[in-house]
Amino acid sequence: MVAVDLYGYGDTPMWPGTGAFSLDREAELLDDIFSESREPIFVVGHSYGGAVGLTAALRHPQIIAGIIVYEPVLFGLLDQRQETAQAAREIASLDSEITTQMARGKPAEAARAFVDYWSGAGSFASYADKLRDQLALKMNKVALDFQAIFNSRTPLSDYRKITAPTVLLYGLDSPAPTRIITDLLARTIAAAEVRGLLGLGHMGMASGKETINRVAAKFLDHIRLSRDHRASIPSLPAN
């Protein structure tokens, strides 16, 4: 298993480039992993990580064995369809609030807007001081993440290129934008299954990790058993 630190997280510094940042620039961090692997790869991601994971899958479709993503934040898909306009405006409002607060030099207020949107009003205030401070320090990268998402204009139809078995997860208590995105992808990726999880929101990967781990393990076992079954079928003799 390889857990990648994306730009500005963990041990990876902020993106050093200039110009427009995008999901493709973020996914470049994974290129060596995909190009050097001798075995098929499973992609697992949540939220922004899910969006990066799907971008990587489009860049390296031939090596993908399976995909598990929880609410990938591909907000650009919302702008491409009239019926999702309200959800697009909702997430654009969040982006605007974060940008405004950062421009005012108030990263803690930007973090409050971000956390309370995804986890419910008052969530940020309920966190310990240390965690609030840590989140405020990360808001520069969160703002850059939004740029990457909105600068990436991959059309929904491109996701038809994903042929690997895919599980798309979302929380039934999540905000509308990510639930809609998950549904759009489920109707586009041919080999996709979609599952809404009761009692979970966008941060369900943390609050409901046992449930999600069970779903992921069952999916991985199914893929492994399918591959073992195919390998056990004897080849037909050549005519």
pLDDT tens sequence for the chain (239 residues): 899 999 999 999 999 887 889 999 999 999 999 999 989 999 999 999 999 999 999 999 999 999 999 999 999 999 767 789 999 999 999 999 999 999 999 999 999 999 999 999 999 999 999 999 999 999 999 999 999 999 998 999 999 999 999 999 999 999 999 999 999 999 999 999 999 999 999 998 888 889 999 988 999 888 877 765 444 444 444 44
206 and 89 within one domain: no
pLDDT value at position 97? Answer: 98
Q: How far apart are CA 32 and CA 110, in angstroms?
A: 34
- Structural domain contains residue 175: yes
Tokens of 128: 């310990």
Q: pTM for the whole thing?
A: 0.90
- Structural domain contains residue 99: yes
149 and 84 within one domain: yes
Q: Which domain holds residue 200?
A: 39-47+65-74+155-231
- Alpha carbon 157 to its chain centroid, in Å, reads 18
pLDDT value at position 19? Answer: 81
223 and 162 within one domain: yes
Determine the longest span between alpha carbons in the chain, in angstroms: 75
- Structural domain contains residue 237: no
Q: Do residues 98 and 110 lie in contact, with contact meaning Cβ atoms separated by under 8 Å?
A: yes
pLDDT value at position 175? Answer: 96
Q: What are phi and psi of 30, to 5 degrees?
A: -95, -5
- Structural domain contains residue 96: yes
165 and 147 within one domain: no
CATH of the domain at 161: 3.40.50.1820
Torsion sign, CA atoms 59, 60, 62, 67: negative
